[in-house]
Amino acid sequence: MSASRVLVTGGDGFLGRGVLAALAGKSLEALVALDVREVPAERQLPGVVYRQQDVRDAGIGDTLAAHAIDTVVHLASIVTPGKDSNRAFEHSVDVGGTRNMLEACVAQGVRHIVVSSSGAAYGYHADNPAWITESQPLRGNPVFAYADHKRQVEEMLADYRAAHPALAQTVLRIGTILGERVDNQITALFEKKRLIAIRGSASPFVFVWDEDVTGAIAHALGDAPPGCYNLAGDGALTIHEIASRLGKQAIDWPAGVLKATLAVGSALGVSRYGPEQLDFLRYRPVLLNTALKERFGYVPSKTSSEAFDAFVAARARQGRPVTSS
């Protein structure tokens, strides 16, 4: 099911820019990028048609029709909300925007949609298995907007697979992305002088290099079999292993003490994180990528360990080292 006329949502986001760069050099008949913001001319790539359009826009089907799109890469979502954001707005983009795009795809006869989901859709739960496969239930966590919305999106996608089988789906459940220019909630943890560890929990992290994410998406646009796949590098690193590589200490906190500290800090407005972050740290879903390699046919270029080392090396080259001096 090779793609020839492709539309990418969230085209000016971090992942969107990487995907467009990966696809711009391929022999596609059309490559269209949508973003809620106007993309500055200096960031526009030759051969890409840029359109300013919200994924919630009722006219998105007209855009698909105008460019005779056969494949959509749906990346638009809110990963890190702004200070003035709220849950209703985030839901309208993450879930409502995806519903709008799916309805438009069906109405316009789009053949294939590739969706960036997340390992967060599995949720942060005490009974998560040590290694999570695609057969694990998607439970999300209501307290985490991103995880909850990804779960809702995946439930919607499952409904569409049953009701509209002509629209093939490739759903990539992405692990923690690292790259040369990645800054997110996770990398901020590694910048601390001392890392937080929770007594009795290994807090394993599974990483994927950003170029492996764009590579897997490009692979999906070839003849790779549609389906739902965990997208992560091989293996995982515990919080203590990460601290050791950074030359730092990981301080073991009793869960109850850390939960109370986070609650107080959140109540006083001195911390952006509340007590719910405890489960985010200690019950992280650890993604097994066997289906990605054996069924989907994509082998990440970097393991979790190699991705982390490459991230540390990149930060050092940029003069922003995360290692202890």
Give pLDDT tens digits for 74-124: 999 998 887 788 999 999 999 999 999 999 999 999 999 999 999 999 999
Q: If 0-12 CB within 10 Å is exposed, 13-18 middle and 19+ buried, where does residue 296 land?
A: buried
Calculate Rg over the CA atoms of the chain. Answer: 20
DSSP code for 293 = I
Alpha helices in 137-227 (DSSP H): 145-163, 185-190, 210-220
Whether 39 is covered by a domain: the verdict is yes
Q: What pLDDT shows up at residue 268?
A: 67
pTM: 0.94
Whether 263 is covered by a domain: the verdict is no
The tally of domains found in the chain comes to: 1
Q: Which residue range forms the structural domain that includes residue 293?
A: 5-178+208-232+287-300
The whole-number average pLDDT for the span 286-307 is 98
In terms of phi and psi (left: phi > 0; alpha: psi -120 to 50; beta: otherwise), the region of 70 is: alpha
- In whole numbers, what is the pLDDT of the chain averaged over residues? 93
Whether 315 is covered by a domain: the verdict is no
pLDDT in tens, 145-192: 999 999 999 999 999 999 999 999 999 999 999 999 998 888 988 999
CATH number (domain holding residue 123): 3.40.50.720
The whole-number average pLDDT for the span 205-227 is 97
Cβ–Cβ < 8 Å for 237, 304: yes
Whether 260 is covered by a domain: the verdict is no
Distance from C-alpha of 307 to C-alpha of 207, rounded to nearest angstrom? 7
Please determine, for residue 272, whether its predicted confidence score (pLDDT) is greater than 70.
Answer: no
Residue at 234: amino acid letter: D
Whether 203 is covered by a domain: the verdict is no
Please determine, for residue 269, whether its predicted confidence score (pLDDT) is greater than 70.
Answer: no
| Residues 17/142/140/93 CA torsion (nearest 10 deg) | -30
Whether 257 is covered by a domain: the verdict is no
Q: What pLDDT shows up at residue 1?
A: 65
Whether 63 is covered by a domain: the verdict is yes
Whether 115 is covered by a domain: the verdict is yes
